[in-house]
Amino acid sequence: MLKEFKEFAVKGNVVDMAVGIIIGSAFTTVVKSLVSDVLMPPLGVLLGGVDLSQFFIVIKEGTKAAAPYATLADAKAAGAVAISYGVFINNVVSFIIVAFATFLLVRSVHRLKRKEQPAAPAAPTTKECPECCSAIPIKATRCPCCTSLLPSE
């Protein structure tokens, strides 16, 4: 069983998948930073200087401090139960960017695979004599080896 697992683990597909997961994880971190640090601040300015990640709704007030809470961090520190829909919006934007980048990557790989596929096999140039089984030109009407007449096709 250990030998089979070793063969499975070192197969190209498993190694490729592991590398893909590692690179995908790093890519996701970069995209999250892009969304939260680069895209959302200007969007917040366009919306009147608001930080979208601070949008939340308090469901239940905290036991340590009463509402209203200025920030999501204040609400969580007070022990309040809140729906962080601004963080959710950031995560949705991150997901869309990662999904689109993955789509572009897969699409380009598929295009490369289509270009690499071999052309259709060439038409045969010889046929086999039914009498002596030797290879003869496809247009021949008589076998050069046994001189038998070949059936017309």
Whether 113 contacts 126, CB under 8 Å: no
Whether 104 contacts 93, CB under 8 Å: no
Task: Read off the pLDDT of residues 43-82 as tens digits, 9 standing for 90 and up.
Answer: 878 878 777 778 888 888 888 888 788 888 888 888 888 9
pLDDT over threshold 70, residue 119: no
Pairing of strands 135-137, 81-83: unpaired
Tell me what pLDDT residue 153 has: 63
Confidence of residue 108 (pLDDT cuts 50, 70, 90): confident
- Residue with the bigger pLDDT between 117 and 87: it is 87
Tell me what pLDDT residue 105 has: 82
Q: How far apart are CA 23 and CA 38, in angstroms?
A: 21
Paired tokens of 21: 């997961």
Question: Which domains, from first to last, does the chain contain?
Answer: 2-50+84-117 (1.10.1200.120), 121-153 (no CATH)
Helices (H) and strands (E) in the chain, counts: 5, 4
Tell me what pLDDT residue 135 has: 92
pTM reported for the whole predicted model: 0.55
When pLDDT is averaged across residues 18-41 and rounded to a whole number, the result is: 85
When pLDDT is averaged across residues 146-152 and rounded to a whole number, the result is: 84
Give the residue carrying structure tokens 């601004």.
Answer: 86
Give the burial class of 80: count Cβ atoms within 10 A of its Cβ; 0-12 exposed, 13-18 middle, 19 or more buried. buried
